[in-house]
Structure 1
Amino acid sequence: MDLTEHYHQLYKKSTEAISKGNYKLDSQINNTADSRFGITLLIRPSEKVKSNIQLFLNELKAIEPEQYYYPDSDIHITIMSIISCYEGFTLDEINIQEYIDIIQQSLVVLDKIKIEFKGITASPSAVMVQGFPTDESLNDFREKLRENFKKSTLQQSIDNRYSIATAHSTVSRFQEKLQNPEKLIEVMEEFRDYNFGEFTVENLELVYNDWYQREENTIHLAEFMI
């Protein structure tokens, strides 16, 4: 996949939708009864990158204070949604160690992952920071995970919704009617090619999480040093 073109097309279609009022609101963010949970293997960006992301979010907050903004603790890159969030899923349904073992086996193909966060894109319901792996390490690792999990009999939903190929971070979601969509797009344009920084991934996290990866609802299952 050409990530640059993918992000560009997503941004173009989404900003057109936003400007026409065809954006989508997330009605579940403040629903305390939301029971959608799953298991995710993820990366946390460096502190420097997260600091730069918060500078961008502060600009958005000044225009659209009523939207949902991710705190540092929740910002992440999804490597693989192993069990996509669904209503009622709990950890007692699986043997966590079996999942850890498959991830450990898959790590044999992984050297180092470097990711450059540059520019922003959007969907009709969210704003994302664009991530660009500097080589094929992340893609190779994802393919090995797919291969090993599909050979197993474990509960998993890898690629059921879509085949993940990006390295973006969702940083804001629309939860209320936009007050000033034109100004919002202006700020997004200012950060369209902004360099948020590059970092080398030092560890991966396996977590039990809600739909929004909120820290207070996350259970840390394992850490993998690379």
Structure 2
Amino acid sequence: MNNLTEHYNQLYKTSAETISAGKYSIDLELKNESDSRFGITLLIRPNEEIKANIQHFIKELKKVEPEQYFYPDSDIHVTVMSIISCSTAFTLDQISPKEYIEIICRSLVDVEKIKIHYKGVTASPSALMIQGFPSDETLNNLRNKLRENFKKSGLQQSMDSRYSIFTAHSTIMRFQEQLQNPKKLIETAEKFRDYDFGEFEVKNLELVYNDWYQRKETTRVLGDFGLR
């Protein structure tokens, strides 16, 4: 947990400085209609109460930077594991979803409760995120089980190819235009830096075929896994 706090703090500090100095990055793919980067992700969605709290924050951000890209409720998620990273080379017909579902079911056998506490805000040079803190090691143990089982299976996967996932954040805003007032944006984020968005118990996990931004209209749910 402390490592995670440290990681989020460091990320926020460097990114807030970068953004305030006007050295942020714009995600040029957001408006690209022919963006065909797709992949497969196992994810968690927060409950309604938390989404409402997040929208309260988004409302404040929209006052400062209305032209940016904000995640609607339907797209807010925590990535458990990016099983096949989004790329233009991947299409759903390359795999049999059933085989992936079987491995996930096997990995979930001993999983007890997963709880995530959303508290505070962090940033990257091109986005703002809500900080998520799992209440114990259950989520990381599940990730390790998935890594192990998928590697053994020989199925197509690209887990941890970009970085080894250990956070539980949710991206809620991306920069798609030049920022009107970078300093004001960071001031607004600062107000929510330690805001308590709430805690929820994960009721189910979804396996989805998704685009880079997890947009609902392009997402296909391949499997839904209830937790006891």
Number of aligned residue pairs: 226
Q: Which amino acid aligns with 2:109?
A: V
> How many angstroms apart in 2 are the aligned matches of 1:185 and 1:96?
42
CA drift at 1:133: 0.3
Deviations 1:42-100 (A, max 9, x none): 00001000000000000000000000000000000000000000004211110110000
Identity of aligned residues (%): 68
> How many angstroms apart in 2 are the aligned matches of 1:32 and 1:88?
17
- Give the structure 1 partner of residue 29 of structure 2: 28
CA drift at 1:125: 0.3
CA drift at 1:149: 0.3
> How many angstroms apart in 2 are the aligned matches of 1:182 and 1:100?
45
- Give the structure 2 partner of residue 97 of structure 1: 98
- Give the structure 2 partner of residue 189 of structure 1: 190
Task: Please tell me whether residue 221 in structure 1 is matched to residue 218 in structure 2.
Answer: no
- Give the structure 1 partner of residue 120 of structure 2: 119
Would the aligned equivalents of 1:75 and 1:169 in 2 still touch at CA under 8 Å?
yes
CA drift at 1:168: 0.2
Q: Which amino acid aligns with 2:93?
A: D
Stretch deviating more after TM superposition (106-115 or 125-134):
106-115
> How many angstroms apart in 2 are the aligned matches of 1:91 and 1:170?
25
> How many angstroms apart in 1 are the aligned matches of 2:205 and 2:104?
10
- Give the structure 1 partner of residue 213 of structure 2: 212
3-state SS of paired residue (1:156)? coil
Q: Which amino acid aligns with 2:77?
A: H
TM-score by length of 2: 0.98
Q: Which aligned pairs between 1:7-46 and structure 2 lie closer than 5 A? A: 7-46=8-47
- Give the structure 1 partner of residue 77 of structure 2: 76
Q: Which amino acid aligns with 1:75?
A: I
- Give the structure 2 partner of residue 139 of structure 1: 140
CA drift at 1:182: 0.9
Task: Please tell me whether residue 200 in structure 1 is matched to residue 221 in structure 2.
Answer: no
3-state SS of paired residue (2:108)? helix
**5+ residue gaps in structure 2?**
none
CA drift at 1:30: 1.2
Deviations 1:155-176 (A, max 9, x none): 0000000000000000000010
CA drift at 1:108: 1.6
Would the aligned equivalents of 1:115 and 1:200 in 2 still touch at CA under 8 Å?
yes
Deviating beyond 6 angstroms after TM superposition, the runs of 4 or more aligned structure 1 residues are: none
Would the aligned equivalents of 1:109 and 1:144 in 2 still touch at CA under 8 Å?
no
TM-score by length of 1: 0.99
Deviations 1:12-67 (A, max 9, x none): 00000001111000000111100000000000001000000000000000000000
CA-atom RMSD, angstroms? 0.7
